Amino acid sequence: MRPFGYVSAPDLPTALDVVAAGARPLGGGTNLVDLMREEVERPETLVDLTRLPLADIEELPGGGLRIGALVRNGHLAAHRLVRSRYPVLAQALLSGASGQLRSMATVGGNLLQRTRCPYFRDLSADCNKREPGTGCAALGGVHRATAVLGTSEHCIAAHASDMAVALVALDAIVVLESVRGARRVPVAQLHRLPGDTPHVETDLAPDELITAVELPATPVARTSRYRKVRDRASFAFALVSVAAALEVRDGEVTDVRLALGGVAPRPWRASEAEGLLLGAPATEESFRRAAAAELAPAVGRPQNEFKIELTQRAVVAVLRQLATERSSAERAEGTGGAA
Protein backbone atom coordinates (compact mmCIF):
# COMPACT_ATOMS: atom_id res chain seq x y z
CA MET A 1 0.00 0.00 0.00
CA ARG A 2 1.30 3.46 -0.89
CA PRO A 3 1.59 6.26 1.69
CA PHE A 4 -1.33 8.69 1.68
CA GLY A 5 -2.53 11.77 3.58
CA TYR A 6 -5.51 11.54 5.94
CA VAL A 7 -7.88 14.27 7.10
CA SER A 8 -10.77 13.61 9.46
CA ALA A 9 -13.30 16.34 8.55
CA PRO A 10 -15.00 17.87 11.62
CA ASP A 11 -17.81 19.49 9.60
CA LEU A 12 -19.28 19.64 6.09
CA PRO A 13 -17.70 22.97 4.98
CA THR A 14 -14.24 21.59 5.85
CA ALA A 15 -14.98 18.33 4.04
CA LEU A 16 -16.13 20.23 0.94
CA ASP A 17 -13.00 22.42 0.98
CA VAL A 18 -10.70 19.42 1.30
CA VAL A 19 -12.52 17.53 -1.48
CA ALA A 20 -12.32 20.66 -3.69
CA ALA A 21 -8.56 20.63 -3.10
CA GLY A 22 -8.39 17.06 -4.49
CA ALA A 23 -8.86 14.73 -1.50
CA ARG A 24 -10.82 11.51 -1.95
CA PRO A 25 -13.87 10.91 0.27
CA LEU A 26 -13.75 7.97 2.65
CA GLY A 27 -16.98 6.47 4.00
CA GLY A 28 -16.78 3.07 5.70
CA GLY A 29 -13.71 2.24 3.61
CA THR A 30 -14.91 -1.29 2.85
CA ASN A 31 -14.38 -0.79 -0.88
CA LEU A 32 -11.87 2.03 -1.21
CA VAL A 33 -9.35 0.71 1.30
CA ASP A 34 -9.46 -2.76 -0.31
CA LEU A 35 -8.69 -1.20 -3.68
CA MET A 36 -5.91 0.93 -2.19
CA ARG A 37 -4.31 -2.19 -0.73
CA GLU A 38 -4.35 -3.71 -4.20
CA GLU A 39 -3.06 -0.41 -5.67
CA VAL A 40 -6.00 -0.22 -8.04
CA GLU A 41 -6.87 3.08 -6.34
CA ARG A 42 -4.03 5.47 -5.47
CA PRO A 43 -5.46 8.60 -3.81
CA GLU A 44 -2.90 11.01 -2.39
CA THR A 45 -5.18 12.18 0.43
CA LEU A 46 -8.31 10.75 2.01
CA VAL A 47 -10.93 12.85 3.74
CA ASP A 48 -12.75 10.77 6.31
CA LEU A 49 -16.42 11.75 6.35
CA THR A 50 -17.56 9.65 9.27
CA ARG A 51 -17.59 12.49 11.85
CA LEU A 52 -20.01 14.55 9.73
CA PRO A 53 -23.58 14.91 10.98
CA LEU A 54 -25.01 12.97 8.03
CA ALA A 55 -26.04 9.76 9.76
CA ASP A 56 -29.75 10.43 10.36
CA ILE A 57 -32.90 9.10 8.73
CA GLU A 58 -35.65 11.74 8.76
CA GLU A 59 -39.25 11.67 7.64
CA LEU A 60 -40.08 14.14 4.87
CA PRO A 61 -43.40 16.00 4.70
CA GLY A 62 -45.75 13.84 2.63
CA GLY A 63 -44.33 10.52 3.75
CA GLY A 64 -40.90 10.22 2.11
CA LEU A 65 -37.55 9.74 3.83
CA ARG A 66 -34.28 11.63 3.79
CA ILE A 67 -31.33 9.33 4.45
CA GLY A 68 -27.98 10.88 5.37
CA ALA A 69 -25.05 9.73 3.25
CA LEU A 70 -23.30 8.32 6.32
CA VAL A 71 -26.14 6.10 7.46
CA ARG A 72 -24.69 2.61 7.70
CA ASN A 73 -26.23 -0.05 5.49
CA GLY A 74 -27.20 -2.25 8.46
CA HIS A 75 -28.91 0.62 10.26
CA LEU A 76 -30.87 1.57 7.14
CA ALA A 77 -32.05 -2.02 6.58
CA ALA A 78 -33.29 -2.26 10.17
CA HIS A 79 -35.12 1.09 10.24
CA ARG A 80 -38.83 0.72 11.06
CA LEU A 81 -40.04 3.03 8.29
CA VAL A 82 -37.78 1.49 5.67
CA ARG A 83 -39.03 -1.98 6.53
CA SER A 84 -42.69 -0.97 6.44
CA ARG A 85 -42.75 1.55 3.56
CA TYR A 86 -39.91 0.29 1.36
CA PRO A 87 -39.41 -3.45 2.05
CA VAL A 88 -37.59 -3.78 -1.29
CA LEU A 89 -34.83 -1.51 0.04
CA ALA A 90 -34.46 -3.36 3.35
CA GLN A 91 -34.30 -6.68 1.49
CA ALA A 92 -31.74 -5.40 -1.03
CA LEU A 93 -29.49 -4.15 1.76
CA LEU A 94 -29.77 -7.37 3.74
CA SER A 95 -28.89 -9.42 0.65
CA GLY A 96 -25.54 -7.60 0.35
CA ALA A 97 -22.18 -8.45 1.91
CA SER A 98 -22.21 -9.58 5.58
CA GLY A 99 -23.44 -8.18 8.89
CA GLN A 100 -19.96 -6.87 9.71
CA LEU A 101 -19.58 -5.12 6.36
CA ARG A 102 -23.08 -3.65 6.53
CA SER A 103 -22.19 -2.16 9.92
CA MET A 104 -19.32 -0.24 8.28
CA ALA A 105 -20.61 0.49 4.77
CA THR A 106 -22.32 3.84 4.23
CA VAL A 107 -25.11 4.85 1.83
CA GLY A 108 -22.80 7.22 -0.12
CA GLY A 109 -20.03 4.63 -0.38
CA ASN A 110 -22.41 1.87 -1.41
CA LEU A 111 -23.69 3.95 -4.35
CA LEU A 112 -20.14 4.63 -5.52
CA GLN A 113 -18.59 1.20 -4.96
CA ARG A 114 -16.56 0.00 -7.93
CA THR A 115 -17.25 -3.01 -10.13
CA ARG A 116 -16.26 -6.53 -9.08
CA CYS A 117 -15.07 -7.42 -12.60
CA PRO A 118 -11.91 -9.45 -11.81
CA TYR A 119 -9.87 -7.69 -14.51
CA PHE A 120 -10.53 -4.28 -12.94
CA ARG A 121 -8.71 -5.50 -9.83
CA ASP A 122 -5.93 -7.32 -11.68
CA LEU A 123 -3.14 -4.84 -12.38
CA SER A 124 -1.59 -7.22 -14.92
CA ALA A 125 -4.80 -7.28 -17.06
CA ASP A 126 -6.07 -4.85 -19.68
CA CYS A 127 -8.96 -2.79 -18.35
CA ASN A 128 -10.32 0.38 -19.95
CA LYS A 129 -12.05 1.29 -16.71
CA ARG A 130 -8.84 1.20 -14.65
CA GLU A 131 -6.48 2.35 -17.41
CA PRO A 132 -8.23 3.97 -20.39
CA GLY A 133 -7.12 2.75 -23.80
CA THR A 134 -5.66 -0.59 -22.69
CA GLY A 135 -8.59 -2.80 -23.78
CA CYS A 136 -11.08 -5.07 -22.02
CA ALA A 137 -9.68 -8.43 -20.92
CA ALA A 138 -13.16 -9.61 -19.89
CA LEU A 139 -14.34 -9.74 -23.53
CA GLY A 140 -12.10 -12.69 -24.33
CA GLY A 141 -11.63 -13.86 -20.75
CA VAL A 142 -13.71 -14.98 -17.79
CA HIS A 143 -16.93 -13.00 -18.10
CA ARG A 144 -19.64 -15.08 -16.41
CA ALA A 145 -20.53 -12.30 -13.97
CA THR A 146 -20.47 -9.43 -16.45
CA ALA A 147 -23.29 -7.37 -17.99
CA VAL A 148 -25.64 -8.16 -20.87
CA LEU A 149 -27.46 -4.81 -21.13
CA GLY A 150 -25.96 -1.36 -21.78
CA THR A 151 -22.42 -2.62 -22.43
CA SER A 152 -19.98 -1.36 -25.04
CA GLU A 153 -17.05 -2.85 -26.94
CA HIS A 154 -14.85 -1.10 -24.35
CA CYS A 155 -16.34 -2.48 -21.15
CA ILE A 156 -18.79 -5.17 -20.06
CA ALA A 157 -18.36 -4.83 -16.28
CA ALA A 158 -21.55 -5.07 -14.21
CA HIS A 159 -22.49 -2.65 -11.45
CA ALA A 160 -22.22 -4.35 -8.06
CA SER A 161 -24.58 -2.55 -5.68
CA ASP A 162 -27.80 -4.21 -4.50
CA MET A 163 -28.99 -1.12 -2.64
CA ALA A 164 -28.72 1.04 -5.76
CA VAL A 165 -31.08 -1.27 -7.69
CA ALA A 166 -33.79 -0.80 -5.07
CA LEU A 167 -33.18 2.97 -4.98
CA VAL A 168 -33.57 3.21 -8.76
CA ALA A 169 -36.87 1.29 -8.60
CA LEU A 170 -38.05 3.69 -5.88
CA ASP A 171 -37.26 6.87 -7.87
CA ALA A 172 -34.77 7.95 -5.20
CA ILE A 173 -32.92 11.25 -5.51
CA VAL A 174 -29.29 11.72 -4.56
CA VAL A 175 -28.26 15.05 -3.00
CA LEU A 176 -24.82 16.26 -4.14
CA GLU A 177 -22.96 19.12 -2.49
CA SER A 178 -19.77 21.00 -3.29
CA VAL A 179 -18.27 24.40 -2.51
CA ARG A 180 -20.27 25.58 -5.52
CA GLY A 181 -23.63 24.60 -3.99
CA ALA A 182 -26.06 21.67 -3.92
CA ARG A 183 -27.96 19.80 -6.60
CA ARG A 184 -30.35 16.87 -6.67
CA VAL A 185 -30.07 14.08 -9.24
CA PRO A 186 -32.25 10.98 -9.67
CA VAL A 187 -30.22 7.91 -8.64
CA ALA A 188 -31.25 6.46 -12.02
CA GLN A 189 -29.16 9.19 -13.68
CA LEU A 190 -26.17 9.08 -11.35
CA HIS A 191 -24.33 6.19 -13.05
CA ARG A 192 -23.25 6.34 -16.69
CA LEU A 193 -23.14 3.64 -19.31
CA PRO A 194 -19.56 2.85 -20.40
CA GLY A 195 -19.68 3.90 -24.08
CA ASP A 196 -16.11 4.73 -25.04
CA THR A 197 -15.28 6.23 -21.60
CA PRO A 198 -15.81 3.38 -19.12
CA HIS A 199 -13.52 5.07 -16.60
CA VAL A 200 -16.12 7.85 -16.19
CA GLU A 201 -18.65 6.00 -14.06
CA THR A 202 -20.94 8.69 -12.66
CA ASP A 203 -22.12 12.25 -13.16
CA LEU A 204 -20.54 13.27 -9.88
CA ALA A 205 -18.01 16.12 -10.30
CA PRO A 206 -14.62 15.51 -8.62
CA ASP A 207 -15.40 18.14 -5.95
CA GLU A 208 -18.88 16.83 -5.09
CA LEU A 209 -19.92 14.79 -2.09
CA ILE A 210 -23.05 12.73 -1.72
CA THR A 211 -24.72 14.15 1.38
CA ALA A 212 -28.12 12.41 1.31
CA VAL A 213 -30.54 10.21 -0.55
CA GLU A 214 -34.24 11.11 -0.64
CA LEU A 215 -37.00 8.60 -1.09
CA PRO A 216 -40.31 10.00 -2.34
CA ALA A 217 -43.52 8.76 -0.76
CA THR A 218 -44.32 5.71 -2.88
CA PRO A 219 -47.46 3.85 -1.75
CA VAL A 220 -46.86 1.02 -4.25
CA ALA A 221 -43.56 0.27 -2.48
CA ARG A 222 -45.42 -1.27 0.45
CA THR A 223 -45.90 -4.30 -1.80
CA SER A 224 -42.34 -4.66 -3.01
CA ARG A 225 -39.59 -7.26 -3.10
CA TYR A 226 -35.93 -7.73 -3.91
CA ARG A 227 -34.84 -11.08 -5.28
CA LYS A 228 -31.15 -11.82 -5.75
CA VAL A 229 -29.93 -14.84 -7.68
CA ARG A 230 -26.35 -15.74 -6.82
CA ASP A 231 -23.94 -18.62 -6.64
CA ARG A 232 -24.29 -19.10 -2.89
CA ALA A 233 -26.92 -18.06 -0.42
CA SER A 234 -24.90 -15.34 1.31
CA PHE A 235 -21.80 -13.21 0.92
CA ALA A 236 -21.98 -13.25 -2.88
CA PHE A 237 -22.67 -10.58 -5.47
CA ALA A 238 -25.74 -10.85 -7.70
CA LEU A 239 -25.66 -12.80 -10.93
CA VAL A 240 -29.06 -11.28 -11.50
CA SER A 241 -31.33 -9.31 -9.21
CA VAL A 242 -34.81 -7.82 -9.43
CA ALA A 243 -36.32 -4.97 -7.41
CA ALA A 244 -40.06 -4.71 -7.96
CA ALA A 245 -43.16 -3.07 -6.55
CA LEU A 246 -46.65 -3.81 -7.81
CA GLU A 247 -50.19 -2.58 -7.30
CA VAL A 248 -53.09 -4.56 -8.75
CA ARG A 249 -56.77 -3.59 -8.73
CA ASP A 250 -59.51 -5.81 -10.12
CA GLY A 251 -56.88 -7.97 -11.77
CA GLU A 252 -55.17 -5.07 -13.56
CA VAL A 253 -51.73 -3.58 -12.93
CA THR A 254 -52.31 -0.01 -11.74
CA ASP A 255 -48.75 0.81 -10.63
CA VAL A 256 -45.41 -0.93 -11.07
CA ARG A 257 -41.72 -0.26 -10.41
CA LEU A 258 -39.04 -2.54 -11.78
CA ALA A 259 -35.24 -2.40 -11.76
CA LEU A 260 -32.55 -5.00 -12.45
CA GLY A 261 -29.12 -5.65 -10.96
CA GLY A 262 -26.12 -7.75 -12.00
CA VAL A 263 -26.98 -7.41 -15.68
CA ALA A 264 -25.82 -3.91 -16.62
CA PRO A 265 -23.02 -1.41 -15.95
CA ARG A 266 -25.45 0.58 -13.85
CA PRO A 267 -28.58 -0.25 -11.85
CA TRP A 268 -31.05 -0.84 -14.68
CA ARG A 269 -34.52 0.71 -14.63
CA ALA A 270 -36.75 -1.64 -16.61
CA SER A 271 -38.84 1.14 -18.18
CA GLU A 272 -39.81 -0.87 -21.25
CA ALA A 273 -41.29 -3.62 -19.07
CA GLU A 274 -43.01 -1.09 -16.79
CA GLY A 275 -44.68 0.56 -19.81
CA LEU A 276 -46.05 -2.76 -21.02
CA LEU A 277 -47.27 -3.81 -17.58
CA LEU A 278 -49.16 -0.66 -16.67
CA GLY A 279 -52.85 -1.27 -17.39
CA ALA A 280 -52.25 -4.89 -18.43
CA PRO A 281 -53.88 -7.88 -16.73
CA ALA A 282 -51.74 -9.06 -13.81
CA THR A 283 -51.14 -12.44 -15.41
CA GLU A 284 -48.18 -14.69 -16.03
CA GLU A 285 -48.49 -13.95 -19.74
CA SER A 286 -48.20 -10.16 -19.23
CA PHE A 287 -45.23 -10.66 -16.92
CA ARG A 288 -43.46 -12.86 -19.49
CA ARG A 289 -44.11 -10.44 -22.33
CA ALA A 290 -42.80 -7.49 -20.32
CA ALA A 291 -39.67 -9.33 -19.18
CA ALA A 292 -38.93 -10.51 -22.73
CA ALA A 293 -39.30 -6.95 -24.10
CA GLU A 294 -36.91 -5.56 -21.49
CA LEU A 295 -34.28 -8.17 -22.28
CA ALA A 296 -34.72 -7.99 -26.07
CA PRO A 297 -31.68 -5.68 -26.56
CA ALA A 298 -29.47 -7.86 -24.30
CA VAL A 299 -26.19 -9.09 -25.77
CA GLY A 300 -24.96 -12.32 -24.25
CA ARG A 301 -21.47 -13.75 -24.53
CA PRO A 302 -20.55 -17.42 -24.22
CA GLN A 303 -20.25 -17.45 -20.41
CA ASN A 304 -22.97 -14.94 -19.47
CA GLU A 305 -25.69 -15.68 -22.03
CA PHE A 306 -27.56 -17.62 -19.34
CA LYS A 307 -28.30 -14.32 -17.58
CA ILE A 308 -30.80 -13.30 -20.25
CA GLU A 309 -33.18 -16.19 -19.58
CA LEU A 310 -32.42 -16.13 -15.85
CA THR A 311 -33.34 -12.45 -15.58
CA GLN A 312 -36.63 -12.99 -17.37
CA ARG A 313 -37.51 -15.87 -15.09
CA ALA A 314 -36.57 -13.87 -12.00
CA VAL A 315 -38.73 -10.92 -13.12
CA VAL A 316 -41.73 -13.20 -13.74
CA ALA A 317 -41.24 -14.97 -10.40
CA VAL A 318 -41.11 -11.72 -8.41
CA LEU A 319 -44.11 -10.19 -10.18
CA ARG A 320 -46.09 -13.40 -9.74
CA GLN A 321 -45.32 -13.38 -6.02
CA LEU A 322 -46.30 -9.71 -5.64
CA ALA A 323 -49.52 -10.22 -7.61
CA THR A 324 -50.44 -13.15 -5.35
CA GLU A 325 -49.73 -11.04 -2.26
CA ARG A 326 -51.89 -8.22 -3.60
CA SER A 327 -54.85 -10.47 -4.40
CA SER A 328 -54.66 -12.12 -0.95
CA ALA A 329 -54.59 -8.65 0.62
CA GLU A 330 -57.62 -7.62 -1.45
CA ARG A 331 -59.51 -10.69 -0.31
CA ALA A 332 -58.57 -10.13 3.33
CA GLU A 333 -59.57 -6.48 3.24
CA GLY A 334 -62.75 -7.23 1.31
CA THR A 335 -62.48 -3.71 -0.07
CA GLY A 336 -61.86 -4.45 -3.71
CA GLY A 337 -58.24 -3.37 -3.40
CA ALA A 338 -57.62 -0.54 -0.92
CA ALA A 339 -53.95 -0.51 0.04
Ligand X SMILES: Cc1cc2nc3c(=O)[nH]c(=O)nc-3n(C[C@H](O)[C@H](O)[C@H](O)COP(=O)(O)OP(=O)(O)OC[C@H]3O[C@@H](n4cnc5c(N)ncnc54)[C@H](O)[C@@H]3O)c2cc1C
Positions that interact with ligand X (CB under 6 A): 24-32, 34, 49, 69, 73, 96-97, 101, 104-106, 108-110, 112-113, 160-163, 209-210, 237
CB of 45 to ligand X, least distance (A): 11
Q: How far apart are CA 67 and CA 79, in angstroms?
A: 11
Ranked by CB distance to ligand X, the top (closest) residue is: 109
CB of 191 to ligand X, least distance (A): 12
Q: How far apart are CA 90 and CA 259, in angstroms?
A: 15
CB of 296 to ligand X, least distance (A): 27
Nearer to ligand X, 162 or 294 (CB): 162
Nearer to ligand X, 110 or 151 (CB): 110
Side chain identity at residue 15, one-letter code: A
Nearer to ligand X, 69 or 277 (CB): 69
Contact 163, 111 (CB under 8 A): yes
CB of 164 to ligand X, least distance (A): 7
CB of 228 to ligand X, least distance (A): 8
The β-bridge relationship of strands 5-8 and 45-48 is parallel
Nearer to ligand X, 69 or 276 (CB): 69
* Closest C-alpha among 86, 93, 91 to residue 107: 93
Give the per-residue SS3 of 291-320: HHHHHCCCCCCCCCCHHHHHHHHHHHHHHH
Nearer to ligand X, 69 or 125 (CB): 69
How many C-beta atoms lie closer than 10 Å to residue 211's C-beta?
22
Length of the chain: 339
